[in-house]
Amino acid sequence: MSPVYVWTIILGMAVTNYVLRAAPFLVLSRVELPTWAQRWLDFVPVSVMSALVVSEVLRPGGAWLLPWENPYLWASMGTGLVYWRWRSLIGSTLAGIAMFIALRCLLGVLPI
Amino acid sequence: MARMLVSPASPATRDRSLAGFARGVKLGTPVLLGYIPIAIAFGVLARTAGLTVFQTVACSMLVFAGSGQFIAIAMIGAGASAPSILVTTAVLNLRHILFGATLQPYLSHVPLREQALIATGITDESFAVNVTDLRGGSASASSVAGVEFVSWSGWQIGTIIGAVATGFVGDPSRWGLGFAMAAMFTALLVATAEDRRHVIVAVVACCLAAAFMLVLPSQWSIVATAVIAAGVGAAVFR
């Protein structure tokens, strides 16, 4: 694998990503957002997180898993409940990983 | 309803103290701890795909976008062309535009060069932690930067461990780390679902995401879901 190929990808991604991250700051420091756009942005965090969870959980590693053979799905619901009850990001992440490992053994679909 | 339906972002506090930054570091520590195992997995996969230690670490330092980096490594492994990798990851990361646009109104009083610095540290997790804190009203530009700095550090620590100790770690999925990302996203989904309106939008978004995944490549389904579900929320709850 040529270094030029790898560095083109790394530096290309670095520049593209920074432009995507910084562009709204540059634009919005000059333009005031209309009310409808502010209302829309209020729902962006929860919408993006939903989309990320669903894509991680229904198709982990790129392969669809059916509900009864999917430890990701059930462990994710458990993680959500733990966060809802105790409001601890690290606690729910660790509890989630523990539930995931247990479910993986229980469902017996993946090697331990 | 007690809360104003349209809640314009109230600006972050003007606190510029080190204490504000430290507060952000504390808030972001769970993200650091969550990032380490995921970044170890990235380090291992990147080395296995043929990147050098230096390239692997440089990638995490400069790009700092977890899902984008994982996709890039998978595509490198599959022998994809550089332009196709750049386009795919750019589409996947279009959501960063939404994140920046959501954060900016809270930080409009901050000098532009500091906003430009804050932009470098935006990820799914640092954004979710910061937006929850900003909505709570006690965040400042310093605390936002603190959350981002500690998240970035966790990503680097994990990458270095994974890249250097590839042979010792073995297959990262053995340790249940394949679920770490999903676990953090789930907790942050609950954190960002502030009231009944957000919960309803979350349900709509989950259904939309599942439907889009059937018909669109994953990089498109995330951004399409975000744009449309948030639009539904804005249209219904005026």
- What is the pLDDT averaged over residues A6-33? 94
In order, the DSSP letters of B77-97 are HTT--HHHHHHHHHHHTTHHH
Q: Report the C-alpha gap between B230 and B238 in whole angstroms.
A: 12
| Structural domain boundaries enclosing B99 | 18-192
Q: Does A10 touch chain B (CB under 8 A)?
A: yes
Tally of domains in chain B: 2
Q: Report the C-alpha gap between A64 and B215 in whole angstroms.
A: 13
Q: Report the C-alpha gap between B83 and B148 in whole angstroms.
A: 29
- Residues of chain B with confidence (pLDDT) below 70: 1-8, 172-176
Instruction: Determine the residue type at B198.
Output: H
Give the 3-state secondary structure of residue B140.
Answer: strand
Tell which A residues from 13 to 52 touch B, by Cβ distance under 8 Å. 13-14, 16-18, 20-26, 28-29, 33, 35-52
B182 and B72, same domain (yes or no): yes
Q: Report the C-alpha gap between B26 and B49 in whole angstroms.
A: 35
Average pLDDT, whole number, for chain A?
91
* B48 belongs to a structural domain: yes
Q: Residue A112's pLDDT band (boundaries 50, 70, 90)? A: very low
Q: How many CB atoms lie within 10 A of CB A84?
A: 13
Measured between CB atoms, which of A17, A58, A83 is closest to B68? A17
B108 and B203, same domain (yes or no): no
B229 and B111, same domain (yes or no): no
A55, B205 contact by CB (below 8 A): no
* B119 belongs to a structural domain: yes
CA distance A45 to chain B (A): 6
> What's residue B4's pLDDT?
41
Q: Residue A99's pLDDT band (boundaries 50, 70, 90)? A: very high
Least confident of A11-15, A31-35, B233-237: A31-35
B46 and B125, same domain (yes or no): yes
Residue B28 structure tokens: 């972001």
Which has the closest alpha carbon to A83: A69, A68, A106, A99?
A99
Residue A4 has pLDDT above 70, yes or no: yes
Which chain A residue's Cα is nearest to B121?
Answer: A21
Angle (CA) A40-B144-B150 rounded to 5° is: 125
B188 and B198, same domain (yes or no): no
B97 and B198, same domain (yes or no): no
B223 and B171, same domain (yes or no): no
> What's residue B172's pLDDT?
67
ipTM: 0.92
> What's residue B1's pLDDT?
35
Q: Report the C-alpha gap between B69 and B75 in whole angstroms.
A: 10
Residue A20 has pLDDT above 70, yes or no: yes
* B2 belongs to a structural domain: no
Least confident of A18-32, A33-47, B75-89, B171-185: B171-185
B166 and B206, same domain (yes or no): no
Chain A CB contacts of B188 under 8 Å are: 49, 89
Q: Do B179 and A58 touch (CB under 8 A)?
A: no
Q: What is the pLDDT of residues B151-164, one digit of tens each?
A: 999 999 999 999 99
* B226 belongs to a structural domain: yes
B207 and B102, same domain (yes or no): no
B74 and B58, same domain (yes or no): yes
Angle (CA) B2-B190-A17 rounded to 5° is: 110
B136 and B124, same domain (yes or no): yes
- What is the pLDDT averaged over residues A11-28? 96
Give the 3-state secondary structure of residue B13.
Answer: strand
B185, A75 contact by CB (below 8 A): no
Measured between CB atoms, which of A16, A24, A35 is closest to B90? A16
Tell which A residues from 89 to 108 touch B, by Cβ distance under 8 Å. 89-90, 92-93, 96-98, 100-101, 104
B106 and B214, same domain (yes or no): no
CA distance B16 to chain A (A): 19
CA distance A86 to chain B (A): 11
A11, B58 contact by CB (below 8 A): no
CA distance B19 to chain A (A): 22
* B134 belongs to a structural domain: yes
Angle (CA) B128-B131-B136 rounded to 5° is: 125
> What's residue A109's pLDDT?
59
